[in-house]
Structure 1
Amino acid sequence: MKNDSIVRKQMMLYMATIAIFVAVVCGALTIFYTKHYMAEKREELIQQGEKIAQAYKKGYRTGNLSELSYELQILESYMGSGVLVINENGEVALASPGFNDEFLEDNRISQTLIERVQNGEIVSVQTKSGQVSDTPMLVVGYPFSEGHLAGILMCRSLPEIEESLKEMYQISVISLFFVSFLGLIVSYVTAKYVALPLMRMNRAAKVIANGNFEERVDVTSSDELGELAQSFNHMAESLQTHEKVQKDFIANISHDLRSPLTSMQGFLTAMLDGTIPPEKREHYLKIVLEETERLSRMTQSIVELSRAQSSAILLDESDFELNELIRWNIEMLEPQLEEKNVQIHGIYEAEQTMVHGDRDKISRVLQNLLGNAAKFSPQNGIIEVETTLDKKKVLVSVKDQGPGISEEDQKYVFDRFFKTDTTRNMDKTGSGIGLAIVREFLQAHGETITVKSEKGKGAAFVFSLKLAKKEN
């Protein structure tokens, strides 16, 4: 077991807790047992004194005290209690056989005790060695008046009482230690139960750190550890997905970069070696120029995404009219819409909607969403752009009638490098970073974007913007 392992730490904690618990319980039991046991013995002695008083009164009236002497002997032999009968002068009139003549002659009994009993009090005191007997005693004085007698002193040896208490203490302590030992065993099993799945996750994390994202841990419970294992597996699945997406992106971007470069290289080579006649060079130079512009746009998108993900987005915020910006972006898209005879329907909740944000960044968001909608719309399709007010925000929805996005792909559609499946990805020119940039721009504004889609029923992208504050 490692010195810093969670099992060792848990065991140390359990042992410290159990030790404190045992110490507190032992202390509490000692006080409780002592008080309760002593009170119980006092009550027994008082009851014995009452019985002796009744027996003495009966014997005194009948003139037969032989039964009283026998009862005193029984008490001393079997109950361990000595009995002293005190007369009205404070002298010992009768004593059980355990008190010798020397004790009776010395009259060691405290006068204060005798006076209190003569005054009718039931008195309970613990005496030291030599005060009543050669051993410490628990003395209970019970008053009664019959003839010349004033009371009875019931005496019980304190060492005998303490010996009985020790036996109870020993039984209690042994029981506590036995329970504590069982507790330690249960604690060890519990600590191992908690630590085992954590150790498995630690091993799996090391495997994943080495690049094997297929590693998973077994979920064996539905408690917090089970939830942690599920979260770990979800993390591993996400890492595996992102690794695949990144590899796909590298393959896609390599292909997208290679295609225009190959095309430009071929045209330039053909012009240099005379394959392309001079009268057609202008046409092919325009194609080369278009390819360079395409490469420039692609590299610019990658740079923007890199800046966005490094929190380097600077916003130039102001109030602007949203409906006008939407119409302007629709007009910019007309050539692409005419190719498929796609129509865009604008549905605006208000004639004028003033919002607050970076106008250029929001324009880029609209360009990307409208461009994607046009790209994936079928021939003669319809795109709906709708604005709705929601408290202090406006929601903008861009909905197309394309092939839609699968539920699984919707989880990753805003991730960098991600391109949906080949059914939706009808345009092979995309690099899979447009929607990632859209999300970063909106997050920089403190806003959100969501997607709602069903396979074969198109896709709707909805984002929010802050409404401009009204001037007083």
Structure 2
Amino acid sequence: MKRTAFVKLILCYCFAAISMFLLLNTFGVKFMENKLMDRKKDELYNEASIIVTDYATEMVEQLRVIDNFLGTRIWIVSKDGTIVADTRSNAIGINITNLDANFLEQTFSENVYFKGIFTEPMLSVVVRIPYNYSIKGYVCIHMPMDSIRSESIYYIDVVNVCYLVFLIILFLIFLIIYYITVFPVRRITIVCSEYAKGNFDEPMEIRTNDEYRELANSVKYMADELKNLDDYQKKFVANISHDFRSPLTSIRGYAEAMRDGTIPYEMQNKYLDIILFETERLTKLTTNLLSLNSFDNKGTLLDLSSFDINAAIRKTAATFEGQCTKKRIVFNLEFSAKETFVDADIDKIQQVLYNLIDNAIKFSNVDSTIKVTTEEKGSKVLISVKDHGIGIPKDSIKKIWERFYKTDSSRGKDKKGTGLGLSIAKEIITSHDENINVVSTEGVGTEFIFSLKKTDY
């Protein structure tokens, strides 16, 4: 059977309360009785001493007053042990030494029981009456043991009542502590269970401003990230299905048309070129997916070497000559030095340059310029690719690094992209422990800037 923290705390509370109650009533009564016994002894001895000091024959009536006030019985005993005065009168003339030979030699005696005199055990105090350096007699004061026990029980009852009140107050404090400490944990547990079921909209409702609030915020943040991941996965499947289905539909349509003779023989080469183009597009998409998957599984394996980044830029830019000619785009290459060496994986950096320049050409205006620059800054080299084109909407800036993400402008002006180029570029630059950033103004253009480690040669 599962026990909640609340049940465990209640059990611990009950165990502690019962244990304290049993200890209090088991050892407390005896402790209280011993303390009262000691106190009564002192009181009786003090009273007896006062009587001895003020001893006179006319004190019998005063002794009765003291007797009634203290609830005691007082004797005046002669030197030979005969009771000569008794506040209750019925023991006068009795010789104590005949009943207990050692009684007068003891200052304190407990459970004294003289047959025929007392009907219950007594606590007795004996004080000698001095006279001319000798003993003239004794003052004996007796108090019933039951009255001492009754008084100790009374005090224990008072303590028990106070203890009960204390337990009630403690229980209320316990409930408050439970509400402050355990309740938030239970609430977080319930909400986490809802999150595990996919219900990410369950409110957390933790109002305390402490560590529990921080934990709740962390869990909520995790839930939001999981929700985003879930949405991303759905979007990923939808995007990849779309990007595979479109070229496959074209390939199938043109292939069936050529097989059925719908496309004349003399025009088949044109559509075969389209089929080959779509096949290359699928191959590129598959290659990019495999690259990203390898980044996720084992990270990017780098083959670091020192190379001239300026030469790599010239080589990459040259591969886009045909595309630039169609859109009448001109490259403006500006380098801070004739040669600028960096420590990086040349193949992967060329892939980054290719993706960035390809993007720049796609979204540049006709008859525009693409500016590629390098600048040495401390131990780093900053590489910039800047176009003059449609730019990126402000609300899309943070999303462009997501896989398969395409802005509406991208889908409208260019349907050949996979939406993976920037994701791959960021993975490669991040694997070099460097940064890549973007600055864009919609309708003006976009600039991508990334850094690499500079070397001397």
Q: Same fold judged by TM-score > 0.5?
A: yes
Code of the residue aligned with 1:428 in structure 2: it is K
Match of 1:13 in 2: 8
Task: Provide the residue aligned with 1:46 in structure 2.
Answer: 42
RMSD between aligned alpha carbons?
5.2
**1:368 aligns to what?**
355
CA shift, 1:137, in A, is 7.2
Identity between Structure 1 and Structure 2 (%): 21
Distance 1:177 1:94, change over 3 A: farther
Alpha-carbon separation, structure 1, partners of 2:143 and 2:175: 48
Residue 55 of structure 2 aligns to a residue in which SS? helix
Partner of 2:210: none
Is there any run of 5+ residues in structure 2 with no aligned partner, and where? 208-212
Deviations 1:201-248 (A, max 9, x none): 534643x3xxxx8x6213433434465345424522441244134313
- Could you say which residue in structure 2 is the equivalent of 1:422? 409
Alpha-carbon shift at residue 429 of structure 1 (Å): 0.8
Q: 1:254 Cα deviation (Å)?
A: 1.9
Amino acid at match of 1:427: D
Q: Does 1:253 align with 2:238?
A: no
> 2:364 aligned to 367, 377, 387, which one?
377
Mapped to 2, the partners of 1:382 and 1:327 lie a distance apart of: 13
Q: Deviations over 1:71-119 (max 9, x none)?
A: 133101xxxx6668899999999777599769775348778863xx8xx
Counterpart position of 1:122: none
**DSSP-derived class of the 1:247 partner:** helix
* 1:254 counterpart letter in structure 2: R
Say whether residues 1:437 and 2:424 are aligned partners: yes
* Residue 71 of structure 2 is aligned to residue 73 of structure 1: no
Q: CA contact under 8 A between 2:307 and 2:346: conserved in structure 1?
A: yes
Note closer, same or farther for the CA distance 1:464–1:10 as it changes in structure 2 (3 Å cut): farther
Q: Is 1:244 equivalent to 2:229 in the alignment?
A: no
Number of the residue aligned with 2:289: 302
Q: Unpaired runs of 5+ in structure 1?
A: 118-124
For 1:449 and 1:92, the matched residues in 2 are separated by: 114
Mapped to 1, the partners of 2:299 and 2:395 lie a distance apart of 31
Instruction: Output one character per residue of 1:328-380: Cα deviation in whole Å (capped at 9) or x when no partner.
Output: 4344445444535354454659963432x432122212221232233323342
String of CA shifts for 1:24-64, please: whole Å, max 9, x gaps: 6447756678757854774565356445644653x337964
How big is the shift at 1:194?
4.9
User: Is the counterpart of residue 341 in structure 1 residue 341 in structure 2?
Assistant: no
> How far apart in 2 are the matches of 1:349 and 1:112?
119
**Residues 83 and 96 of structure 1 are in contact (CA less than 8 Å); yes or no, is this contact kept in structure 2?**
yes
The answer (yes or no) to whether the contact 2:236–2:404 under 8 Å persists in 1 is yes
SS at match of 1:220: coil
The TM-score with structure 1 as length reference comes to 0.68
**Quick check: 1:270–1:276 contact (8 Å CA) kept in 2?**
no
Q: Would the alpha carbon gap of residues 257 and 276 (structure 1) be closer, same or farther in structure 2, given more than 3 Å must change?
A: closer
Q: Which amino acid aligns with 2:402?
A: D
Q: From the superposition, tell whether residues 412 and 28 of structure 1 become closer, same or farther in structure 2 (CA, over 3 Å).
A: farther
Using the alignment, how far apart are the partners of 2:224 and 2:143 within structure 1? 77
User: Any conservation in 2 of the 1:388–1:396 contact (CA below 8 Å)?
Assistant: no
**1:106 aligned residue (99, 104, 116):** 99
Tell me which of 312, 320, 329 is aligned to 2:316.
Answer: 329
Match of 2:193 in 1: 202
| 2:304 and 2:345 in contact (8 A); partners too | yes
